[in-house]
A and B are shown apart, each in its own frame.
Chain A
Amino acid sequence: MGFPDRIERVVDIAHPPAKVWAALTTAEGLGSWFGDKASIDLRPGGAAQMTFGGGHTADMRVERVEEPTVFGFTWHISGLPDDDPRRTYVEFTLEPVGVGTRLTVIESGFAQLPGDAYHKAYDGNTSGWASELGELVDYLDAA
């Protein structure tokens, strides 16, 4: 498999979990390091939004809130049309290590496809016309 479905990072941070938790889950925190501005309704199903330089925004849906150890949200796969249903899931896990925190972030779901709809569209659009194109090439080559 040449492409990742999942991204995982582990970093040790010299601050206690409560402080890291606040940076991850409050509008003030997210707006400081992640986006330029943020809003968040911190409960499963709650909405969060970040605004980045240039006016680009990211809409997130809060999925898991287990203070101060697990924070999860889903968001859009950037680059796809706004109405595309595919989302990736991001989960932060905070583990106390001494006076600091071991922070794990896992983002998964890059390789998902929207079920059969895509395959239908793909197959339907590519079958049955290759021969026509062959005729076209013949025609142009003869011209």
Chain B
Amino acid sequence: MPPDSEAIAEQVFVALADPSRRAILAALASGGPATATDLASRLPITRQAVAKHLGLLADAGLVTAEPGERRRIRFRLHSAPMQVAQQFLAALARDWDGRLDALRDHLNK
């Protein structure tokens, strides 16, 4: 594994550990790119807090800023780090223990 992929995944999990950041990511996932002001109006989070969370999400590579006039910068979800994190989740979710139990039950029938 490239040495930085675990660091990327860790940033994703840290980002997702906070309910406000989950709400911001969920809003961007469901509604598409939005400005900090849009997000603050849709969520029970102040604009200042939205901006700080967007900073952390950007450091984690989970959102990117679209080019534009400063007040109207829209942020959009960036999925690449999620896909790194999903690899780790996939390993945890494979459940070979359950499958091998099912194989045994099948053969014992």
Contact = CB atoms under 8 A, between A and B. Distances in A.
A33 B99 contact: yes
A121 B80 CA distance: 8
B96 A122 contact: no
Contacts of B84: 113, 118
Nearest to B40: A140
Interface in B17-72: 36, 47-48, 50-52, 54-55, 58-59, 61, 64-65, 70-71
B55 A3 contact: no
Give the interface centre of A5, A86, A110 by most chain B CB atoms within 10 Å.
A110
Interface string A1-13: 1111101010101
Interface string B97-109: 1011011111110
A14 B9 CA distance: 41
Contacts of B52: 137
A133 B88 contact: no
Contact of B1 (A1, A105, A133, A135): A1
Contacts of B87: 3, 77, 80, 86, 110-112
B107 A79 contact: no
A80 B83 contact: yes
Contacts of A24: 103
A99 interface: no
Contacts, number: 129
Give the interface centre of B8, B78, B87 by most chain A CB atoms within 10 Å.
B87
Contacts of B73: 132, 136
Contact of A9 (B54, B78, B100): B100
B1 to A, nearest CB: 4
Interface in A96-111: 103, 105, 107, 110-111
B104 A107 contact: no
Contact of A125 (B78, B100, B106): B78
Contact of A110 (B70, B81, B91): B91
Contacts of B61: 122, 125-126
Interface string A110-143: 1111000011011001100110111111011101
Contacts of A129: 58, 64-65
5 contacts: A29-B106, A111-B87, A126-B58, A126-B61, A133-B58
